[in-house]
Amino acid sequence: MPMRARCVACLVGIAFLAMAMAASAATVVSDAPLKQNWVKRGLIVEPGFAGPSSSKFVSSPSVVRLENGRLRMYVWVADGTPPWLNGRHIIIAAESDPANPFQWKVISKEALVGPDPTVRTRDRGVGFPYVLPRSDGPWLMYFGTWWGDWTLKRELTNRLGLAVSHDQGLTWAVEKEDVLPSGPPGSFDAGAMPSAGVVRRGKDDYLMWYTAAEKYLRFGEVNQGIMHIGAARSRDGIHWEKLAQPALQAREGSADPYEACLARPAVLKLDGVYHMWFGVYDMAPRTRPNETNAGAGSYRLEYARSTDGVNWTRFPDQPVIPLTPGGFDSTSQTYASVVDMGEQLWLFYTGDGLGNTGVGLATLDKDELRTQ
């Protein structure tokens, strides 16, 4: 490449990264009624569906629509249940014909990505897959890592890793163990970064939203992480620069129940609008930090939208789907994946216990989202 061309490319790259670092996010809170009439279809996979490796835990689906029309689900499974780091935590895949989404054929009972005892940040396993198919390069998988000794401080020890696939998602190799560094002490992302979602906006333009732990607060016997949703930009999907401010921030004590976590964003861009579904973890009603009788809470799925992917309008306290008394999602719904199926959107989500009961499906006519 001629010297002048190299200089121009360098300046463009510098300008892009500077824009990413300087950009700030603003959130508008709306109390307008949310009009999303999702239809719950029920439980589609449950613990044990992939044999012993999935016997206790099935969580955090990432579903892609293949060129042949079939669906492939990348999912976090384990043979142990929380408290965290019990059992072997791996990512596997299964496929289904959309005509019958209640039947899934496992294509990888063994780990596509799993623990590596030689890697400090991944010695206990992986979870939270997000897969980005690409036609002009290797597929990308962003995943959360588990490491360390959970019993020491009862704080999650997650990093965000990256794996690549050169055979359209059938086999994977870990490319990076730590995609995003934590921010400085006191920042909104000073701690763990367990999960992310990514939209490719152009050939050299990627936007990421990631779960970001700021700190831990004591609620009775619970050491609860306070987590927000950050954003980052990239030119290749591999090297990232974080935006300075969170895309969405947990409301903490300004909400009742106390809002502790925003987690695992799932984002689609439709007709020029970004739509985000994310988990919201509320503590038990009237619970506050440092109270001896403080109790744990549960996750529900909520929604926000944006015209640029940076500044968001959030619709708080309006879960997008109801709980099912006595069902697999009787107390909790979180860790979603949303797929554009043409006339409908399909939402795959995790039920009770963050994965103890499996993954369910809900559907929405796309026109309802457009008229919201």
What integer pLDDT is reported at residue 1 of this predicted model?
Answer: 46
SS3 37: coil
pLDDT tens track, the chain, 372 positions: 444 444 434 444 434 444 444 445 789 999 999 989 999 999 999 999 999 999 999 999 999 999 999 999 999 999 997 766 689 999 999 999 999 999 999 998 789 999 999 998 898 899 999 999 999 999 999 999 988 765 556 666 799 999 999 999 999 999 999 999 999 999 999 999 999 999 999 999 999 999 999 998 988 777 888 999 999 999 999 999 999 999 999 999 999 999 999 999 999 999 999 999 999 999 988 777 877 666 678 999 999 999 999 999 999 999 999 999 999 999 999 999 999 999 999 999 999 999 999 999 999 999 988 777
Number of CB atoms found within 10 A of residue 227's CB: 29
Task: Give the whole-angstrom CA distance, residue 102 versus residue 104.
Answer: 7
Q: Where are the chain's structural domains?
A: 34-370
Q: What is the pLDDT of residue 84?
A: 66
The reported pLDDT for the residue numbered 224 is 87
Note the pLDDT of residue 203.
95
Query: 34-370 maps to which CATH number?
Result: 2.115.10.20
Cα distances (Å, whole numbers) of residue 266 to 148, 152, 189, 278, 305: 28, 32, 19, 6, 11
Query: Which three-class secondary structure state does DSSP give residue 120?
Result: helix
d(CA 362, CA 352): 16
